[in-house]
C-alpha cells in the first residue's frame, strides 16, 4: 500500500472544497444488538428518529440553500425506511456505503466484510436504484483487508481517515486504480459537541453538551480555516443529532455562514473523488 499526497487544486478556480456529509445511522450501531425494537427500545426510537423525522427536515434545509450532500447509510436503514431514503436520491444527493448494520470492519474477517458489502450493494440497488461509489467506515476503522474489499466492489473513495485535510490517494497495488481518501475530522462530528443519548450514555457520565452558539462558532472557525488555506473539508453529522428542531437552526446558521463565501466548491464526495482522479491522470474517474 502506498500513499500519494496532492496539492489541492479545485475546479473553477475555487479556493477550497466543502463536502457536506451525513451519516444516517438510524438505530444501527454499537448499541443496537438485536433486530428488534425490543433489544433496546429507547435507543431504537432515538435512532429511528433520524430517518423517520430528521432526514426530511435536513433535506428541506439543503434544498433551501441548494447545497449538495452525501449520505452514508447502513443498508438496514434503507430496508426499513425506504421511502425516506429514496428522497435522498430523488433530491439529487448521493448515498454511500456505511455497512449493513454499522458493523465495525476492523473486527470482521475478509469474508465477513465481503458479505456485508454484497448485501449492502444489493439493497441499495433494489431500493434506491443506485450503485454507491463512496464508503465511510462504520465505527471508524479499517481492517487490514478493507482496502482490497473496497476495490472488489469498485468503490472510488473512502471518507474514513483523519490524517490530512486534503484528499489523498491510497494505492493497493500498481495494477489497480487507487482509492481516493477524503479525510474527516472529529471537530466536525456533531457527536463531539451536541450528542446526548442514554443507554449507552453519551457523553459518558452524562456530562452536558456544548452550547449551540459555541458549537456554531467552532464549526464556522473550522470551515473558514480550511477554506482560507484552500483545503478539503467534510462533516460527520448525524440526522438524529443535528436534524432536530432546535439544532436545525444551528445548521441553518452554519450553512448561511458557508454560503456567504463565493470561493468554495460545494460538492458530493463522488464528485470530489472523480475530480481528484482526473487531476492525477486517471482518466475521467471511471
Cis? peptide before 37, omega within 30° of 0: no
| Number of other residues whose CB lies within 10 A of the CB of residue 105 | 24
Could you give the CA distance from residue 5 to residue 3 in angstroms, rounded to a whole number? 7
Given the complex with Zn ion, which of 78 and 276 has the nearer CB atom?
Answer: 78
Distance in Å, CB of 16 to Zn ion, minimum: 25
Only one residue has cell 431500493, namely 127
Shortest CB 99 distance to Zn ion, Å? 8
Nearer to Zn ion, 23 or 271 (CB): 23
CB of 25 or CB of 94, closer to Zn ion: 25
Report the nearest approach of Zn ion to the CB of residue 102 (Å).
Answer: 6
> Within 13 Å of residue 208, how many CA atoms lie on the same side as its CB?
3
CB of 145 to Zn ion, least distance (A): 20
Question: Which residue in the shown chain puts its C-beta closest to Zn ion?
Answer: 23
Tell me whether residue 106 or residue 282 sits nearer to Zn ion (CB atom): 106
The answer to whether the Cα torsion of 171, 101, 240, 124 is positive or negative is positive
Shortest reach from residue 23's CB to Zn ion, in Å:
4
Burial class (CB in 10 A: 0-12, 13-18, 19+), 81: buried
Residues near Zn ion (CB under 5 A): 23, 25
Burial class from Cβ neighbours inside 10 Å (0-12, 13-18, 19+) for residue 111 reads exposed
Residue 251 or 277: which CB sits closer to Zn ion? 251
Amino acid at each position: 500500500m502506498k500513499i500519494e499526497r496532492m496539492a489541492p487544486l479545485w475546479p473553477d478556480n475555487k479556493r477550497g472544497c466543502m463536502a457536506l456529509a451525513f451519516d444516517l445511522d438510524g438505530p444501527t450501531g454499537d448499541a443496537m444488538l438485536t433486530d428488534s425494537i425490543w433489544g433496546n427500545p429507547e435507543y431504537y426510537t432515538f435512532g429511528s428518529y433520524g430517518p423517520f423525522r430528521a432526514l426530511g427536515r435536513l433535506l428541506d434545509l439543503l434544498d433551501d440553500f441548494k447545497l449538495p450532500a452525501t449520505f452514508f447509510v447502513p443498508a438496514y436503514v434503507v430496508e426499513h425506511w425506504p421511502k425516506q431514503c429514496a428522497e435522498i436520491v430523488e433530491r439529487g444527493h448521493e448515498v454511500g456505503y456505511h455497512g449493513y448494520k454499522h458493523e465495525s470492519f476492523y473486527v470482521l474477517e475478509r469474508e465477513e466484510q465481503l458479505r456485508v458489502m454484497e448485501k449492502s450493494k444489493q439493497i441499495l440497488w433494489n431500493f434506491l436504484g443506485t450503485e454507491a461509489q463512496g464508503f465511510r467506515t462504520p465505527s471508524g476503522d479499517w481492517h487490514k483487508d478493507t482496502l482490497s474489499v473496497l476495490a472488489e466492489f469498485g468503490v472510488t473513495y473512502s471518507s474514513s481517515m483523519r490524517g490530512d485535510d486534503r484528499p489523498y490517494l491510497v494505492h493497493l497495488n500498481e495494477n489497480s486504480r487507487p482509492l481516493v481518501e477524503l479525510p474527516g475530522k472529529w471537530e466536525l462530528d456533531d457527536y463531539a459537541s451536541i450528542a446526548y443519548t442514554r443507554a449507552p450514555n453519551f457523553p459518558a457520565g452524562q456530562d452536558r453538551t456544548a452550547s449551540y452558539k459555541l458549537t456554531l462558532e467552532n464549526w464556522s472557525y473550522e470551515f473558514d480555516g480550511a477554506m482560507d488555506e484552500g483545503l478539503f473539508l467534510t462533516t460527520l453529522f448525524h440526522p438524529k443529532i443535528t436534524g432536530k428542531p432546535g439544532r436545525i437552526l444551528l445548521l441553518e446558521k452554519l450553512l448561511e455562514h458557508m454560503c456567504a463565501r463565493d470561493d468554495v466548491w460545494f460538492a458530493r464526495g463522488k464528485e470530489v473523488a472523480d475530480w481528484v482522479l482526473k487531476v492525477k491522470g486517471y482518466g475521467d474517474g471511471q
